Amino acid sequence: MGKFVPANLTVGAKIRIGLLMFALVLPFFPFVTDYLLHIIILIYLYMILALGLNIVPGFNGLLDLGYVGFYGIGAYTSGLLTYHFGLSYWVIIPLAFINGAIWGILLGAPTLRLTGDYFAIVTFGFSELVVLFLTNEIWLTRGPLGLPGIDVVSIDLTLFGGPKWEFVGELPYYYLAIAMVLVTVFVMHRIQDSRLGRAWFAIRDDEVAAVSCGINLLAYKVIAFAISAAFGAVGGSFFARWVTFLSPDMFKFWESFLILCMIVLGGLGNIWGVMIGAVILVSMSEILREVLPVLGLPVEVRFLAFGLIMVLMMRYRPAGMMPIAAVAAQMRAGRKKRRRTKATVGMQK
């Protein structure tokens, strides 16, 4: 086996390739049921969403509470275009991406001048308005009844005289989701190491210093917000074609909170950490979904655990399980300062 792995790969790269291989053959293990496959696809979906959201709080240090708004916009873009015009999913992905980005710019351009708190609350209001719109504009979205019967994804080669292959069951979606996660991770890595990414990190670490280096704060933040929104919308477009049913309830604030929880747990700004956060929280959510009814509690109670996780993480490991050095330093800064002042006071005595 060792022959096939080039010797110059680092341990980390080997682990990643191994994980990818494992993910690719996973559906063929005998213990993997359709239900389990469904949950793993859900994990992949949340990985895409969490990676998208990560750009704003993780790379830019801004709290975005309205991410689910873009997820909803993407899902309904995909659902409605399929429902009314029968567009192919491969056309819808870029359209959803663009639509998400447009809304991101529309919301971000006027509001990204604000500081963290105000920005957070504006994004929250935005996502609530999106849900209200989806619920009330019945002529467009069928409102609370939901949008059923969205076509499944298909690969249509009839134009070239080939066959038309429809995605039936979970297996094709599994590989589609893996492909989308891979593309997302690739894009995130490239952005992280680009001029754009470096500018974002500078903004996150010190806005004043960033401005003095000639970084246009507003422009870079709007770009970040738009890209983040676009990935949310792409996640939504996949969701719509995968579950083939949409209803406004699916895009409540809790979803935003859950995704935020993932990136906080995994490590703000850390691509791998964020993905692990998605794995842990989706699995935990599913386990609790099974366990809670046994204990006689409503399923919503699982958010109790998520709330507690957030509070405890912020208290004891504010930079997450896989911290990024810069974020960890920032989170520690306050405490250190306090210790230092105490020390100097002691010396003066």
Partner 1 sequence: MFLQQLVNGLTIGGIYAMIAVGYTMIYGVIQLINFAHGEIYMLGAFFAITFISVLGLPFYAAFPLAMACCAVCGVLLDVIAYRPLRKSPRLAALITAIGMSIFLQNLAMVIWGSRPKPFPHGTLPVYFEKTAVSFGGVNLSWFHIFIYCLTIVMMVGLNLIIKKTRWGKAMRAVAQNKTMAALAGINVNRVISYTFLLAGALGGAAGIMTGAFYNKIEPTMGYIAGVKAFAAAVLGGIGSVPGAMLGGVVLGVAEAFGAGYLSSLYRDGISYAVMIAVIILIPAGLFGRVLKETKKSM
**Footprint on this chain of partner 1 (rule: CB under 8 A):** 57, 61, 63, 65, 110-118, 120-122, 124-126, 128-129, 132, 135-136, 207, 217-218, 253-254, 257, 260, 264, 297-298, 300-301, 303-304, 306-311, 314-315, 318, 330-331, 333-335, 337-338
Choose between 63 and 279: whose C-beta lies nearer to partner 1.
63
C-beta of 304: minimal distance to partner 1 in Å?
A: 4
Structure tokens belonging to residue 106:
């529309």
Asked whether the beta carbons of 26 and 40 are under 8 A apart, the reply is yes
C-beta of 275: minimal distance to partner 1 in Å?
A: 20
C-beta of 57: minimal distance to partner 1 in Å?
A: 7
C-beta of 343: minimal distance to partner 1 in Å?
A: 15
Choose between 78 and 270: whose C-beta lies nearer to partner 1.
270
C-beta of 175: minimal distance to partner 1 in Å?
A: 35
Choose between 94 and 110: whose C-beta lies nearer to partner 1.
110
C-beta of 10: minimal distance to partner 1 in Å?
A: 32
Choose between 156 and 286: whose C-beta lies nearer to partner 1.
286
Asked whether the beta carbons of 71 and 239 are under 8 A apart, the reply is yes
3-state SS of 303-337 is: HHHHHHHHHHHHHHCCCCCCCCHHHHHHHHHHHHH
Choose between 40 and 56: whose C-beta lies nearer to partner 1.
56
CA distance 37 to 12: 26
CA distance 41 to 172: 10
Which one, of 19, 42, 176, lies nearest residue 34 by Cα? 42
Report phi then psi at 270, rounded to 5: -100, 115
According to DSSP H, which parts of the chain are helical? Answer: 11-25, 34-54, 60, 67-85, 89-111, 116-136, 138-141, 171-192, 195-205, 207-212, 217-243, 253-266, 271-295, 302-316, 325-348
C-beta of 82: minimal distance to partner 1 in Å?
A: 26
Asked whether the beta carbons of 67 and 232 are under 8 A apart, the reply is yes
Choose between 40 and 122: whose C-beta lies nearer to partner 1.
122
Choose between 47 and 131: whose C-beta lies nearer to partner 1.
131
